[in-house]
Structures are given as C-alpha cells and as structure tokens.
Amino acid sequence: MEQVVKIQEMEKMKLTQLLRGLDVVIKGNKEVVITGLSSHSQFVSPGSLFIAKKGKVYDGSDFIPQALAAGAVAILTDMYNPFFEHTVQVISSDIEVIEAILTKRYYGDPSASLFLVGITGTNGKTITAYLVRHLLGKCGLMGTIENIVGKNRCPTHLTTSDLVTNYKWLRKIADQNMKSAVMEITSHALDQGRVRGMMFDVGVFTNFSQDHLDYHGSMETYLAAKMAFFKQVKCSVFNSDEEVTKNLRGISYAIESDAMLRGTDIEESLDGTQFNLHYRNKVYPFTTQLVGRYNVYNCLAAIAVALHRGYSLPILRERLATFEGVSGRLEPIPNVRGIHIFVDFAHTPKALATVLCALKRMVRGKIITIFGCGGDRDQDKRPKMAKAVEQFSDHIIVTSDNPRTEDPMQICHAISRGLVCQPIIEVDRRCAIRKGISVANKGDVVLIAGRGHESFQNISGKFLSFDDREVVREMISAC
C-alpha cells in the first residue's frame, strides 16, 4: 500500500473512517462526509470538521457559531453542547491528541514520505532553513518569510503555522514529488503542539538567548520548550558552542570548541566569508556570500544536515558558494553614495550584538544603528537590546518597531533607559531611517534592524504597509 495518498483522493472522508478506533463519543450522523479540517473558524470551508480546542488566549468553543455559519458539518469539542443538537459533535477529553491523530490520517502522514528537517533556536532559524533547502535541492520550505513548494511561494504570518496547516503544506510538498522538507520550529509552536505527531529525520538546534519571556515567563521554561522538540527527532544536529546543548547527542558543529564539524580560519568581508571546515581529520575550504562569522554557524548546521542526507563535501562546497542569501537578513541596499546600508531582522540582544560585532570587524567607518522593540512583548529585553547596540554603534536612533497596542514613545523611552549616551528618539520609522542615512558618509554603515523582510507595521492593531527596504530605496533614488 502506498504511503503517499494524493490530496485529491482525500478531499472526502467519512467521519467514522477518520475517527476509527479513537476514544471519542460521536453525537449525530457518524457517516457525515468530511471535506476539510480547521482549528480556526476563519479558515472553515463547507464540509469541514471544526476543531474547537482551548488556547492560552482563545477558547475554540466560542467560535463554533462562526464555524457553522461558514459550513462546518461537524465539531470536535470537549463537551457536548445541546444548543448545537442538530450538528454532529465529536466529544473528547484530550482534543490536542485527537487532533494530531485525525490530521495525520486525513492528510495521509506526508512526513513519512519526506526527509523532514526541523530547525529550532533563538536566532538563525530562517537562514539555516534556506541553506538546507539550497543544499538539498528538491526540498520544500515552511518558515518565517514564506512557504515554498517547487516554484510556488506563499507569504506566511507565523514562523510555524497551526497543526492542520502544517500537515496540509507537507501534503502539498509530498504531492509535488519533493524529496525533502525543512521547517522552522518556534518555542510557541512546540508548547502549543503545532508539530505534534510528526517525526523529524533531523532536528537542528542553532543557539539560545533571551526572547519570548512575555510568553514563557522564564528562560528555563523557554529552554524546556525548545528541548522538548528533540523527543520527535531521529538525529540531532546542534551547536556545541552553546552550553545548553551539552546533553544532546548526534552531529555537533562549532567554531570555538571541538565538534564533528568545526569552522576555523574565518576571513570576513562585506563581500562574503571564507572558512575551513574540519571533518573526519580532513580540512575543506569553503566560501559563502553570507556576511559575518555568525553565518559560519548557520552554514555548518546546514552542511551537517546535508552530510547526514548523504551528500559529499565537494558537492556541498560548490552549492554553498552559489547561495545568495535571504530576504531581510543583513540584506544590503546598493546606493551611489558608497554607504553600506543593511536591513536585518535582528530583534534580540544577542542577535543585535552578533550582527553589529561582525560589521565592526569589517568596516572602518562609523556605524549608525536604527532600531526599536516590539510592543506587547518581553519588556525586560528592551534595555538589554539598547546596551548591545551601544557597545558597537557610533550613532543610535531609537524608533518604532511593531508597537502593537503599546504607546511607541513609551517603548522608545524604555529602550533609552538602557543607554549611557543620549540617543536620537524618532518614533516615525520613516523619519528615523531618513535621519540615519543623512548623517552617514562614504564607508559608513547604516544598520536598520528589527523588521527585516516584514512589509507592514502593526500599530494599534492595524497592519500598515511599511517595508524598510523599499523605504530606503525610495530615499536613495530621491537623492
């Protein structure tokens, strides 16, 4: 029997077939035909089974009326509701477990036919994912910027989508005869079971530093969420320069310490990076167009995945040299003034310090950094981000990032409390970018940090069009 069942063949499935052998109670027509699954009422289509599970913020049962109005023919819930007596109700005390089982059944467990790679860590997930896709070749991608299936690209709003959406995309990847898939896996996703039931051939741990404490509450809880991922992994690939990975077993990579793959003799420039790879008592010279020592870690992680897949180092050396980078990750914006302008996604203290330290080593001119902090997020990291920026910058402009429901000026003042120097505070991000570029001279660096590839700003719950890269290009062309 074939493991891969085409999506077209699975668009219709009787409820009894979907729930066979599961510890559930079915109230209503057990033979109703299911033509889709959804755990979000806004994604429900006619014929769907709506999964009404409880989250940390929302209770799915509150959205049952919307799901039924959109055409749901059945509901998975934890309690029978007599007000919906004419609707088929599937009752279970553990919705999340049942959701994972029936989702895998409905989509035919697409991960079983793929070489599946998951990447977690505080920073570096996106670049590493794109590197893995590039090195492996026929590989789908699911991540922060977009989902990629063959030549088709679809922008995303979450780094790791909900469980049903993830299975749906894996099904699409498998049906396009892709051999592999790589996913970025966040701590939120792991805590909320968004990859529950999936088994990964390789799991990568890039690094660990402060982030998302508004959600997890403590670094210990945050780390525990990350480490839980490796219970679903056949082979671990990890950065052994990170103390938190000391209990992992698998393929290690490093720059500072001994590891199965080690990068040495690193030569950095704004045109790219060269390094020697030590593997099994041999040395292989590598070149990448990626800028910065920290990207050597990302390259090593991706190479380790590809080696495990069976690729040879000479082939990987050729492929790595042709990788052109990722949108919004230290993305250079060419200009006639000879200024080195970069747009980057760095939005944690460690990420900012890492990027700025790399730029400081490579340029002789001044460094002008324009950055802010997201609203409704970990407030403790705001002064820490400021200190990281001040350590390596000659001029600092504090501005608005994605303030969400917070007052952007209050966020800027919270950031400035972490600075010794007096920064320029310009809440209007467009004006802040203009000021940064205006004070830069030939050979200087302007780093616009925090938003990278994002094409909108979240201000008071409204998503307003704003792309740092396009704003810079408009200003440069107007000069």
Counting residues of the chain whose pLDDT is more than 70, the rounded percentage is 97
Res 4: pLDDT: 32
Give the domain-ending residue among 98, 130, 158: 98
Task: Flag whether 124 is in a domain.
Answer: yes
Of 235, 214, 238, nearest in space to 226 by CA: 238
φ, ψ (nearest 5 deg) of residue 359: -65, -40
Amino acid present at 275: F
* pTM for this entry: 0.94
Closest C-alpha to 183, from 252, 112, 105, 115:
115
Q: Are residues 467 and 407 in the same domain?
A: yes
Residue 326 lies in a domain: no
Report the CATH number that the domain containing residue 47 is assigned in CATH: 3.40.1390.10
Task: Please check whether residues 339 and 309 belong to one and the same domain.
Answer: no
Task: Indicate the residue among 98, 119, 152 that finishes a domain.
Answer: 98
User: Other CB atoms closer than 10 Å to residue 253's CB: what's the count?
Assistant: 28
Q: DSSP letter string over 339-379?
A: -EEEEE---SHHHHHHHHHHHHHH-SS-EEEEE---TTS-T
Range of the domain at 181: 110-321
Token representation of residue 18: 């979907």
Our count of domains for the chain comes to: 3
The CATH number covering residue 155 comes to 3.40.1190.10
* CATH (domain of 457): 3.90.190.20
104 within some domain? no
329 — pLDDT class (breaks 50, 70, 90): very high
**Whether residues 351 and 304 fall in one domain:** no
89 and 120 inside one domain: no
Same-domain check for residues 451 and 371 = yes
Q: Give DSSP secondary structure letters for 168-207.
A: HHHHHHHHTT-SEEEEE--HHHHHTTTTTT--EEEEEE--
Tokens standing for residue 427:
């809440």
- Which 8-state DSSP code applies to residue 460? T
Dist CA 241 CA 219 (whole Å): 18
State the pLDDT at residue 54: 86
- Asked if residue 215 is part of any domain, the answer here is yes
Q: For residue 1, tell me if it sits in a domain.
A: no
For residue 450, tell me if it sits in a domain. Answer: yes
Select from 72, 98, 124 the last residue of a domain. 98
Q: Are residues 177 and 124 located together in one domain of the fold?
A: yes
From CA 60, how far away is CA 40, in angstroms rounded? 8
Q: CA dist 183 to 48, 110, 391, 423, Å?
A: 26, 14, 34, 38
Same-domain pairing of 183 and 250: yes
Q: How much is the pLDDT for 479? A: 66
Q: Are residues 314 and 422 located together in one domain of the fold?
A: no
Same-domain status, 24 and 151: no
**Does one domain contain both 317 and 338?**
no
293 shares its domain with 364: no
Q: What is the pLDDT of residues 188-246, one digit of tens each?
A: 999 999 999 999 999 999 999 999 999 999 999 999 999 999 999 999 999 999 999 99
103 assigned to some structural domain: no
Q: In three state form, how does the secondary structure of 129-165 look?
A: HHHHHHHHCCEEEECCCEEEECCEEEECCCCCCCHHH
pLDDT, average across residues 281-289: 98
